[in-house]
Structure 1
Amino acid sequence: MRPSSLSTLSAFIFGSISALAACTSNTTDTAGLQQLIHDGGAGYKLELCAGQVYEISEQLNYTALNQEISTEGYPTDDTRATLKMVGFNKTTLVMAQDAGLSGAKLLNVQLNGNRLDSEDIYTAGGGNIEFGGQNQNQTIEYVKSYDPRGWSCLHLAEGTFNCVNITVQNNDIGPCGRDYFQNWADGISLSCADSLVQNNQIVDATDGGIVIFGAPSSVIRNNTISVKTRTMLGGINMVDVLPWLPEGNFSNTLVEGNTIHGGFATEMGDAEHGPNNASAIVKIGIAVGPDVWFSDGRYGTNKSTGAIIKDNIFSGAFAFGMGVSSAKDFTISNNSFVGNTSFIGSYGPNCTTETKTPHEPVPLLLEPTSVTNLNLTLPPDSPYQFVNGTALGLTCFMPPANDQNAWPYGDGFNSGPSTTSDGGATSASTSSPASSGSSGSGQSSDAFRSIEIGGKVILESTILGLLVGLKFVF
């Protein structure tokens, strides 16, 4: 009888463990999923089944500390479980912003906002993912987020300025939004301080690839931002002086080692450039200062203040690689252009006119009268320096028609080195980038670059898985 009893007991124990370990099937409706999260309490993990699609009619709310939503086995490919929004007039799939949700994790899942091609943006709604708020130590990793109905694929809110230490890494973001007027959406919208955003792939986020709303002491590094079929207004944006106080507070925010790809030719054209079937460009690779973005003076004399931007790389077609205006106490150093590039675009209907007409496309644009105390340097071998000119509302530029030979050839597509004297770049301006503008333009053979700005001369040289074994002894 004893062996039989042990066998029965073993079967019961291991059967119970298997039942506990089983993923939650997509036959569970939204209310059922929410009840599991609520009843699970602190540390609960909602484990979704690989390869399954969960149609969500309402947002799923985290309800306690250290909760997790993930896919069983933590896959990183398209077998990740998918949460798909189907609710009427709903935009957010997962929410972790209420107080008491520190340690929330969103891991190895896909989030489909389900915005249809025929739909305009839901202007009042949140992003696909809403994290941050009054919390700390949250994590979003190996997540794919795309087609949000609202304004962002992933929003990290500041709470009452007490959100700190979110980690956002190894995610696939996009497409986000549409590239027609006021139907854009961000890839990652960061407003939580002391946070880390790294190693993410962001494609076709039509507003900003990564938009930084101050987020003091955060690090944004080693991300790759690209356009394929939709024009992007800005690759990395540091233009919103709200919500952090004092207004424009980017103190100790570090943007380094990111790669931003503008559009590339999709067909053969001439020896240097070809057409792009979607007319896709990045209008501003890195945008610094509110005036670069907003031409209506909504922020008055407020400036973006205190960040470091270094070692970032640009390639492909832009209107402007960088645009800098209404900024102070920034260090901008060693940002470079690689491969083939173009700087293209024409004035659109929303561009300002007369004395406020923005400068035509160039690789690097600076409005010197609006900046203070900038430490601004370039690599010694850079073919470009900053051109001085009006940098107001640069998103107003429109890309060329898709049949024009204006896009450079990219990697793997006639991507040999250019033989042109300006490093392979073309410009829509009537003069070359090296000769247009005032002081600070032109190429230097010196090993150091220096620029005098605001009365200051600056000189500078260049899944680990956790294996848990359960052993039962009888």
Structure 2
Amino acid sequence: MAPPTHIFDPIPGSRPDGGPQHENGAAISKLFSDGGPGTIVLLRPTKTYVLYSQIDMAHPGTTLATLGYPEFSTGQQAILETRGEKEAGAVRMFQLSRTALKRVHVRGCRGWGVTSPTPEEAERWKREEGRLGWIEGGGAMIWAGGPEACEQIIEGCRLEDPRGWTSVHLVDFAQRCRIINNMVGPCGQQAPGPWADGLSIAGKDSIVTGNTVVDATDGAIVLFCAPGTLCSDNTVIARTRNCLGAINMQVCLLLVSTTPVDHFPFQCDYTDTRVVANVIKTEGAYFRVAIACGPTSWSPWGPGHAIVFGGHVLHNTIGPGQFGYGVTLSGVKKWTVLGNTVAPATRFAGSTQAFYPNIINAPPSAFVREWLDRGRVHESDDLQPDFVDGELQWVIGIEPEVGDKLEYEQGQISLDVHGYSRAGEGGLALRGARWEVSPQGGFILRKVEGKVDRFGMGTYGQGKVIWSSGSPLRSQGDHHHLPTDVPEPKLDFSLDGRLAVRSHGGEGEVLWDPVSYLLPFLQHLSHAPENPPTPSEPQPPERWVPHSRLVLRNKQPYLELREHGGNILFSTAYEYDNQDAWVLRAGQWIAIAPKELRGMLDPPEHGSSAPALPSPPPYSQSGGAGGPPPVPPRQGHFSRFVQDITSTLQQHGVGPSPPPIPPRPDAPAPPPHDTCPSVPTPQPTFLYLSPDTCQLFLHSSPHGPTKPDPSSTHWCSAPAPPEQNAKDPWLSFQGDGNMVMYSSAGVLFASGTNGDREAKTFRLKGHGEENGPAIELIGKDGRNVWSSR
């Protein structure tokens, strides 16, 4: 006898305690249970079936569908509404092979919208409007798969508003299932939640294709290993709700203590799990990450994580719209990422402030791979060339807004004159400001003015210039004229740590390099190892190779460049507030650039008669023929100062012996013979905390930042008494306005600028500045309360 086919009409007045006679869920479940394998239950088009219990399809080979199998676009599908007090599920297909759910509209009836209501609102909505909210610990709305399940089908359905953690869960060990052509979403509330997945797939050798997922808030499509599964030709959209991740291949670890529970059953195996030709875009909302590969997308690396392996990400389109990251790789092995593209009108932006201070993640970018020396990416050479390397942990922590700071490691950023970078279009976004490369070859920070989008971005190329590196001066003979447009200027922060603007798309002449003058002073310093071998297992932070950093802010210092040891090579300003938690540790140094190299504030508009940069001061201060001022005789406190420094340095084996009569320390260096004698060679000033002598030095030694000598020292703190045996000094500008040097022996130096003389600002001055070089502490009233001079 053929299996039965039932056309089932909704029960009028379906009620929670009605049983099979008076409740739709129980009645449909009884039809499947009594009918046996192969039973088909067809629901009436457009009718609503209120469920107080989950429909259990009971036997393999069964089908639940709308009569006539209408597409959702026709408006004819039957509607299942879950209204059980403690039941998030609508249909159970678990452990049943060849079962099918087709052309049915399933409503979870959470009804909460983009964000969660207050408890009072939730109760009122539930009582008065039937918006039932989230069920704590609620399961999937459609529960499919399982070890005994194969060849299941969920096709052409409309699935929305689950009250639990996902719309569809294809549970572990299911094989050869098809989730195709469904419309899914919205699902859950955007962060901080409670959020929900769209499709959660752990089935093997299955197909997830043709689905449209809109406004899922956790993972729109999550592949829990799913070896052999094809996820293709899906469209994922963030329209009104921000989403953590569009397509996730991370093995979400639900940690109980440090025990990973989701390694089971495939043990991180993504072999032939393919994410192919999907479209991921936003239409007003935000994806924190488009395609997340590896476990640290969802959390910091920890003992519960393991490397996943074997996945393929091919020919997907990211954008248009707003994203935090595109494709991220961290915690993967034998991974392939090829042929993926970023659509026009796509921007990668977001605030990374939540990562600090424990995690310095790569800033927003289209394609990011974990640094290889950290041991979380292995044997993954089939990667498209768009990737940059960077730290990736808990990338979903990026916030859908522009922040006050971007921190790039070497090789992570380039920016062309059209505003395109690895962060997409529109320059580098900060709160209220934007970094651009000007047609004249300058690196500039603009104020965002006029109409802005929800992420605070205005029109590229418009707005007042707050700071500019300046434009290169074109010379004709000995005469300078106004800067003009240069061919395709481009900024690069290259893998060797050099920051420069060059013409011809980064391949031409250098237009701006803020630290080139420092190279002779730095040549004897240690360098970070290049191309270290890739470790075979994840490494702790203390073994990571350090990198140079470029820090961009929307307030002073606007731009700061640090070398791999954390020392400051260049800054647009050297002032620090006493609330900045400013610290200088043993062995660290700051190179104080001459003022004429620090760029311009509020520079003139293009076409103005003003020069692009202020002219550096000539050597002659009285209109003479140039050359350094005369060397004063060594006498008085200066003579004793030099002798004291010499004695201390020689006692610790540091620095050369001074010449009989040293030049005046704050005199500018003589210019090279092949330059105009009226324009001096830029000379840095260094602030250095010596771990050997436990002294703070302000100096201009030609031997580099860590080798002060008496002839070039402007000021130093007193040495610690020998009997103290001081070690490990560190300098702090404290919240009470006091500058204090601590060590193993206690306090070695204090400015005494607290209490009535509280210092608000710590200022470093270099050559070319009034009363410089110097260290100054400025009080609340703007007056100098302490100075090294």
Q: Return the TM-score normalized by structure 2.
A: 0.46
Q: Cα offset for 1:295?
A: 1.5
In the alignment, does 2:389 pair up with 1:388? yes
Instruction: Pick which of 252-261 and 370-379 moved more.
Output: 370-379
From the superposition, tell whether residues 297 and 420 of structure 1 become closer, same or farther in structure 2 (CA, over 3 Å). same
From the superposition, tell whether residues 421 and 62 of structure 1 become closer, same or farther in structure 2 (CA, over 3 Å). closer
In the alignment, does 2:158 pair up with 1:144? yes
In the alignment, does 2:365 pair up with 1:362? yes
From the superposition, tell whether residues 39 and 313 of structure 1 become closer, same or farther in structure 2 (CA, over 3 Å). same
In the alignment, does 2:411 pair up with 1:397? no
For the aligned residue pairs, the C-alpha RMSD in angstroms reads 2.9
Aligned equivalent of 1:411: none
1:262 equivalent among 282, 287, 294: 282
Aligned equivalent of 2:7: 23
2:78 equivalent among 72, 78, 81: 81
What letter matches 1:135 in structure 2? A
Q: Cα offset for 1:453?
A: 11
> CA contact under 8 A between 1:389 and 1:437: conserved in structure 2?
no
Q: Cα offset for 1:299?
A: 2.5
Q: Cα offset for 1:69?
A: 0.3
2:206 equivalent among 195, 218, 223: 195
Question: Identity over aligned residues, as a percent?
Answer: 28
> CA contact under 8 A between 1:137 and 1:165: conserved in structure 2?
yes
Q: Cα offset for 1:211?
A: 0.4
Aligned equivalent of 1:110: 105
Aligned equivalent of 1:414: none
1:97 equivalent among 86, 89, 94: 94
- Residue 41 of structure 2 aligns to a residue whose secondary structure is strand
From the superposition, tell whether residues 135 and 434 of structure 1 become closer, same or farther in structure 2 (CA, over 3 Å). farther
Aligned equivalent of 2:711: none
- Residue 42 of structure 2 aligns to a residue whose secondary structure is strand
Q: Cα offset for 1:250?
A: 0.8
> CA contact under 8 A between 2:88 and 2:108: conserved in structure 1?
yes
Q: Tell me, which stretches of 5 or more residues in structure 1 are unaligned?
A: 1-19, 265-279, 380-384, 402-417, 446-451, 457-474
Aligned equivalent of 2:221: 210
1:309 equivalent among 301, 305, 313: 313
Aligned equivalent of 1:175: 186
Q: Cα offset for 1:181?
A: 1.3
2:384 equivalent among 368, 378, 382: 378
From the superposition, tell whether residues 190 and 377 of structure 1 become closer, same or farther in structure 2 (CA, over 3 Å). same
Q: Cα offset for 1:435?
A: 3.6
Q: Cα offset for 1:29?
A: 2.5
For residues 284-312 of structure 1, the C-alpha deviation after alignment (integer angstroms, 9 at most, x for no partner) is 00001111221262524x11211111101
> CA contact under 8 A between 2:427 and 2:435: conserved in structure 1?
no
What letter matches 2:263 in structure 1? P
> CA contact under 8 A between 2:419 and 2:427: conserved in structure 1?
no
What letter matches 1:45 in structure 2? I
From the superposition, tell whether residues 427 and 80 of structure 1 become closer, same or farther in structure 2 (CA, over 3 Å). farther
Q: Cα offset for 1:32?
A: 1.7
What letter matches 1:26 in structure 2? P
What letter matches 1:328 in structure 2? K
Q: Tell me, which stretches of 5 or more residues in structure 2 are unaligned?
A: 12-21, 123-132, 253-261, 403-416, 437-489, 500-504, 508-530, 536-789
What letter matches 2:315 in structure 1? D
In the alignment, does 2:54 pair up with 1:59? yes
Q: Cα offset for 1:219?
A: 0.6
Q: Return the TM-score normalized by structure 1.
A: 0.76
- Residue 375 of structure 1 aligns to a residue whose secondary structure is coil
- Residue 8 of structure 2 aligns to a residue whose secondary structure is coil
Aligned equivalent of 1:7: none
Q: Cα offset for 1:419?
A: 5.9
> CA contact under 8 A between 1:188 and 1:209: conserved in structure 2?
yes
In the alignment, does 2:299 pair up with 1:294? yes
- Residue 346 of structure 2 aligns to a residue whose secondary structure is strand
For residues 74-105 of structure 1, the C-alpha deviation after alignment (integer angstroms, 9 at most, x for no partner) is 0012320011001111100001113xx21000
What letter matches 2:150 in structure 1? Q
For residues 106-142 of structure 1, the C-alpha deviation after alignment (integer angstroms, 9 at most, x for no partner) is 0000110111314563231211100001210100000
- Residue 84 of structure 2 aligns to a residue whose secondary structure is coil
- Residue 34 of structure 1 aligns to a residue whose secondary structure is helix
For residues 150-185 of structure 1, the C-alpha deviation after alignment (integer angstroms, 9 at most, x for no partner) is 000111001xx3x21110100000001100314110
Q: Which has the larger radius of gyration?
A: 2
Aligned equivalent of 1:251: 271
- Residue 53 of structure 2 aligns to a residue whose secondary structure is coil
- Residue 168 of structure 2 aligns to a residue whose secondary structure is strand
Q: How does 1:310-459 map to 2 (within 5 A)?
A: 310-315=314-319, 316-347=321-352, 349=354, 351-354=355-358, 356-369=359-372, 370-378=376-384, 385-400=386-401, 420-422=419-421, 424-428=425-429, 435=492, 438=495
What letter matches 1:367 in structure 2? E
For 2:308 and 2:278, the matched residues in 1 are separated by: 20
> CA contact under 8 A between 1:336 and 1:378: conserved in structure 2?
no
Aligned equivalent of 2:34: 39
For 2:287 and 2:64, the matched residues in 1 are separated by: 34
From the superposition, tell whether residues 218 and 455 of structure 1 become closer, same or farther in structure 2 (CA, over 3 Å). same
- Residue 32 of structure 2 aligns to a residue whose secondary structure is helix
Aligned equivalent of 1:382: none
Q: Cα offset for 1:34?
A: 1.7
What letter matches 1:390 in structure 2? E
For 2:111 and 2:58, the matched residues in 1 are separated by: 30
For 1:70 and 1:437, the matched residues in 2 are separated by: 58
Instruction: Pick which of 45-54 and 368-377 moved more.
Output: 368-377
For residues 307-346 of structure 1, the C-alpha deviation after alignment (integer angstroms, 9 at most, x for no partner) is 1111010011101111111111101111111121111111
From the superposition, tell whether residues 331 and 93 of structure 1 become closer, same or farther in structure 2 (CA, over 3 Å). same
For 1:335 and 1:441, the matched residues in 2 are separated by: 29
> CA contact under 8 A between 1:58 and 1:90: conserved in structure 2?
yes
Instruction: Pick which of 338-347 and 41-50 moved more.
Output: 338-347
> CA contact under 8 A between 1:213 and 1:244: conserved in structure 2?
no
Q: How does 1:270-281 map to 2 (within 5 A)?
A: 280-281=285-286
From the superposition, tell whether residues 455 and 70 of structure 1 become closer, same or farther in structure 2 (CA, over 3 Å). same
- Residue 32 of structure 1 aligns to a residue whose secondary structure is helix
Aligned equivalent of 2:196: 185
